[in-house]
Homo-oligomer: A and B are copies of this chain.
Amino acid sequence: MSRTPTRLHVAADLRPGAVIDLTPAQTHYLGGVLRLAVGDSVGLFNGRDGDWTAILTVLDRRRGAAEAVRQTRPQREETGPWLLFAPLKKDRTDFLIEKAVEMGASVLWPVRTRHTQAGRINMDRLRARIVEAAEQCGRPGLPDLRDPATLESMLAAWDPARPLAVADESGSGRPFAAWIAGHAGPPPGLLIGPEGGFADAELDDLAGLPFVVRIFLGPRLLRAETAAVAGLACWQSLGGDWTRPPKGQDAP
């Protein structure tokens, strides 16, 4: 029985016979870590052409390449919520990114708020985390990683046709499931505040915007990464892609 092929994200177009150059990191991973060899299969995807199986044609210390053989799964569009988050300390940001990819967020947008603690955001590291998480969870493509913005500029650029859900720590928000059930429109943005919470002036600004929906996420104080996963789960399970199993069955 063959092992499940490793799945890698590549930039190149995928079609039968296409020879895809692997990055040095991918080459080292396949050869040095997994100890694959020429002739072994790998899975490839690029977010446009679906999932493909490919055969390694070159794998040595200097380079790696694979020849795409056939498509194993057609491209599927993903239209999950946008996740806007105040950056956290490194480990928790990495965790939040990984989970947001697993939970099908379509856009990841770091947003600086008044109480945001973290320093410079390492976008290369976030991109690497996104690719790894997408490869491992099997999603058809990568979420879009936006350049960091201040809360003010993000709100100024926000398309008002898309609701922006914000957890209301006062408990006055609307239960998120109830809002989702009544919502017919694009998936919302979900704005996750910093560990110190939003400043009063920021809450005033948010409350005044017509596209902002203040939501209730339960009686316990949630850490940012918990709120992100839980909020995305609410959406996916009620209004997103957790509602339709791929085989079309819904009996246990």
Identify the A interface with B (CB < 8 A): 76, 95, 98-99, 102-104, 136-139, 171-179, 212-223, 226, 229-234, 236-238, 240-247, 249-252
Contacts and interface: CB of A to CB of B under 8 A. Distances in A.
Nearest to A176: B237
Which 4 A-B pairs have CB atoms at the shortest separation, nearest pair first? A230-B233, A233-B233, A177-B237, A218-B242
Contacts of A213: 252
Nearest to A250: B174
Interface centre among A212, A234, A251 (most CB of B within 10 A): A234
Nearest to A244: B175
A176 B218 contact: no
B220 A137 contact: yes
Contacts of A240: 218
Given A175-B250, A178-B250, A220-B138, A99 B226 contact: yes
Contacts of A139: 219-220
A230 to B, nearest CB: 4
Contacts of A229: 99, 226, 229-230, 233
Contacts of A76: 219
A150 to B, nearest CB: 24
B218 A104 contact: yes
Interface centre among A98, A212, A223, A252 (most CB of B within 10 A): A252
A139 B220 CA distance: 6
A178 B219 CA distance: 24
A232 to B, nearest CB: 8
Contacts of A220: 102-104, 137-139
A173 to B, nearest CB: 7
12 contacts: A103-B218, A139-B219, A171-B245, A172-B245, A175-B242, A176-B242, A178-B250, A214-B252, A215-B252, A233-B237, A234-B234, A237-B238
A103 B226 contact: yes
Contacts of A138: 219-221
A153 to B, nearest CB: 24
Contacts of A221: 102, 136-138
Contact of A179 (B223, B230, B252): B252
